[in-house]
Structures are given as structure tokens and as C-alpha cells.
Amino acid sequence: MGRDEEAPAPPERPGLLAELSQFGRASKQLLGAQWELLLAEFGLARSAVWWLLVAGLAATVAGVGLGLSMLALVGVALAKWWGSWLWALFALAVMQLLFLLGAILVFRRCLHWLTLPRSRGHWATLVRDALHPAPGSGVHSSAPDEAGTAEEAERP
């Protein structure tokens, strides 16, 4: 090698316009990929909701089937023990009636608890906090801000 040969020149840097164009193409490609990913996630979410509903229905059917099978086994056992299907079915009907009355009493007690003053206040606070999140929480309500009520003015 002699001195007459030139060393390879470093590659020229593209101009500002070329860099901005390349940045724009890369940003467009990135946003396009993100959009495709978002659409795929929405598709998966829709599919997941569908499968959750199907699984819930299957669990309900299986639970009812199991309950009926257990009820039939108890009926057969009672019929064998008492020697009469009539008495066994009557006993099962009484058991179901007692279970129904117990469920109604629990339901009524829960409704009573919800009507107590402290429970009403707690529910009102939960609803108010859900509708008007605390400032600085990062959650923005779509409802327009209201002037505020006397209860909100008293609240610390």
C-alpha cells in the first residue's frame, strides 16, 4: 500500500431532514404496532368475557346437577330408612322449605343492616367517592364539577 491510495472516508451523516423523515417512519411503525397490539388485546378481552360467561354457565349447570344428585341420594337413603317414598319426599320438601325460609331471613337481615344510619352513611360516602374522586388521585371524572354541598364542606 502506498501513500497514493486514500483511506476510506467515513460515511456521510444524513441531513436533519433525512433524520426527521426516518424518525417519522419509525414512529409511524411503532404506533402502528402498538395499535395492532391494542386491537389484539381487545379481541382477547372480548373472547375472555365470552369464555367467562360460558364457564359461569357451565359451573351453574354443574352445581345444579350436583345439588339435584345429592338431593336424590338423600331421598333414596330416607326412603330405604323409612321404607316409604312418600315420607322421604315429604322430608325433603320440609328440608327445602326450611332452607328457603333461612335464606329469606338472612336476606331480610342484610336489607335491615343496609338501612341502618351508619350503613346509609357508608353507602353515601362510597357513592360520592366513586362519583367524585379525590384530587390528585389521577382519576378524572367525566361529569362536570359541581359547586359542592354542605355535607362536602363539613367533610375534612
- Go through 15-50 and write b for each residue having 16 or more CB atoms within 10 A of its CB, e for each that does not: eeeeeeeeeeeeeeeeeeeeeeeeeeeeeeeeeeee
pLDDT at 113: 86
Note down pLDDT in tens along the chain; length 156 residues. Answer: 555 566 665 566 668 888 888 988 999 998 888 888 888 888 888 888 888 999 999 999 999 999 999 999 999 999 999 999 999 999 999 999 999 999 999 999 988 888 888 888 888 888 888 888 766 666 555 554 444 444 444 544
pLDDT at 152: 47
* CB of 93 closer than 8 Å to CB of 76: no
How far is 152 from 148, CA to CA, in rounded Å? 6
How far is 145 from 131, CA to CA, in rounded Å? 10
* CB of 48 closer than 8 Å to CB of 56: no
pLDDT at 53: 93
pLDDT at 5: 60
pLDDT at 76: 95
- Go through 140-149 and write b for each residue having 16 or more CB atoms within 10 A of its CB, e for each that does not: eeeeeeeeee
pLDDT at 68: 93
DSSP 8-state class, residue 148: -
User: pTM for this one?
Assistant: 0.46
A 10 A CB-CB count for 78 gives 19
- Domain ranges in the chain are 16-83, 85-133
How far is 72 from 18, CA to CA, in rounded Å? 80
* CB of 132 closer than 8 Å to CB of 141: yes
